[in-house]
Copies of this chain bind each other. A is one copy, B any other.
């Protein structure tokens, strides 16, 4: 039987999604631990992709296979009973045996939250990047972001050390402001390690007026990481949606 889960988590306490040999503090490990107890055998899950240490998810998708058939609604409740309170299973469903959360993912949506209020965040402080009321020209950022949309080699916007292709397609970068929280919403077919955070860090430098928009095209052409902006902090980033 193949199971598909939708998961929400606060990443603050974790070393990221991906299971590690050196730490038990990963989201994958916590979920596999509980599933293996429920199914009474070792269960390996496949996330739609990794999220870095400190990054959150409104809606991460993972799949796994198990011999036993367990009713999905009961399974969801049982998992939520035993998972730590910063990881919640939103839904469980049975899917076709060919389904794989990573291989079948067509698009992903990430949302980065920038705090633009003068007073620091209290209740939101683990979920936003507080730029400490530095003046931000959002129009400049919006115009600069258009240079990133499309199919490009994003090597310069990544700390990936893989030798695989670094070509990805960004479908859109949208800007939304709600109650002085600026949301930068990036939709694409796949993302390299740290890619959204480096894109946001670079766009913020454009918004502060300390970087020219043209440099974005230069980084795309050169593929040199050090020419891009700083990596924006993990706590502002959410994996918002995975589209199949």
Contact = CB atoms under 8 A, between A and B. Distances in A.
A123 B88 CA distance: 10
Interface of A: 8-10, 56, 80, 85-90, 119-123, 125, 127
A123 to B, nearest CB: 6
A123 B85 contact: no
A119 B80 contact: yes
A181 to B, nearest CB: 13
B10 A88 contact: no
Contact of A9 (B86, B89, B122): B122
A213 to B, nearest CB: 32
A203 B34 CA distance: 36
A127 B122 CA distance: 12
A21 to B, nearest CB: 27
Task: Tell which of A56, A86, A88, A120 has the most Cβ of chain B within 10 Å.
Answer: A120
22 contacts: A8-B119, A8-B122, A8-B123, A9-B122, A10-B122, A10-B123, A56-B123, A80-B119, A80-B120, A85-B120, A85-B122, A85-B125, A86-B122, A86-B125, A87-B122, A88-B119, A88-B120, A88-B121, A88-B122, A89-B119, A90-B119, A123-B127
A90 to B, nearest CB: 5
A239 to B, nearest CB: 13
A76 to B, nearest CB: 8
> Closest 7 CB pairs between A and B?
A8-B122, A88-B122, A88-B120, A90-B119, A85-B125, A10-B122, A88-B119
A122 B87 CA distance: 7
Contacts of A127: 123
A8 B90 CA distance: 31
Contacts of A123: 8, 10, 56, 127
Contacts of A56: 123
